[in-house]
A and B are shown apart, each in its own frame.
Chain A
Amino acid sequence: QKEVEQNSGPLSVPEGAIASLNCTYSDRGSQSFFWYRQYSGKSPELIMSIYSNGDKEDGRFTAQLNKASQYVSLLIRDSQPSDSATYLCAVEGAGSYQLTFGKGTKLSVIP
């Protein structure tokens, strides 16, 4: 059974701080990794994808991948109240089209 683990939170950070979200996965052959943001009552929205070891930056968001440690993270710089949401980590297994999702980390950015 492929597993994706996230700290459920809630994670509270003050406005302007860096929020750090973490995810570990069990399938060592996984190739593709995604972060989705989900506002309450809405569907998940893709915010970052990462496919190779290292960092990938997009605006205030940075995804970090370490395949040896089976670890992927998302950093949100200059956090805003509008970033308050649940963040889902998703992993695509080797040779599979399926995504396995973590249960999500709820982030609250306090003004």
Chain B
Amino acid sequence: DVKVTQSSRYLVKRTGEKVFLECVQDMDHENMFWYRQDPGLGLRLIYFSYDVKMKEKGDIPEGYSVSREKKERFSLILESASTNQTSMYLCASSLSEGVNTEAFFGQGTRLTVV
């Protein structure tokens, strides 16, 4: 089974802090994604990466950055956390090619910024 693991299930951080959310997948997937999910807004793509050290902006990259130094790990960084970044953050991974390119999700990190 594909396993996507996020480092924390719940996090509480203070406004202005630098926050790191970590994600690791064990299926040698090329693609990795970071989404946030908010009530009424659905899942929105923040950043994705299709290879090591490669990254692409999604729909809402402002206030975030990412790092992918190893194929299995994709980190989301909140440079200076703000209360409007309180959300559920979801990491996902997928294959680039082949028959099955579906994305698999981690368990999610519920971040509260106070």
- Listed in ascending order, the chain A residues whose CB lies under 8 Å from chain B are 32, 34, 36, 42-46, 49, 51, 88, 90, 92, 97-99, 101-104
Neighbouring B residues of A101 by C-beta, 8 Å: 42-43
Query: Contact mask B1-14 → A, CB, 8 Å, 1/0?
Result: 00000000000000
Q: Could you tell me the distance in whole angstroms from the C-beta of A1 to the nearest C-beta in chain B?
A: 9
- With a cutoff of 8 Å between Cβ atoms, the chain B residues found around residue A90 in the complex are 103
| Contact sample, A vs B, 16 pairs, CB 8 Å cutoff | A32-B101, A36-B105, A43-B90, A43-B105, A43-B107, A43-B108, A44-B90, A46-B104, A49-B100, A90-B103, A97-B31, A97-B48, A97-B94, A98-B33, A102-B42, A103-B42
Q: What's the interface size class on B, roughly?
A: 20 to 34
Q: How far, in Å, is A2 (CB) from chain B's closest CB? A: 10
Are A98 and B42 within 8 A (Cβ)? no
Q: A97-B31, A98-B45, A103-B42 are in contact. Are A44 and B105 (CB under 8 A)?
A: yes
A43 to B103, CA, bound (A): 12
Neighbouring A residues of B100 by C-beta, 8 Å: 49
B33 to chain A: closest CB distance in Å? Answer: 8
Q: Which listed residue (A34, A43, A104) contacts B102, Cβ 8 A?
A: A34
Nearest Cβ in chain A — how far from B9, in angstroms?
10
Task: Give bound CA distance, A45 to B4, whole Å.
Answer: 12
CB-CB under 8 A from A46, the residues of chain B are 102-104
Whether B31 pairs with A43 at a CB distance below 8 angstroms is no
- A103 contacts B41, C-beta separation under 8 Å: yes
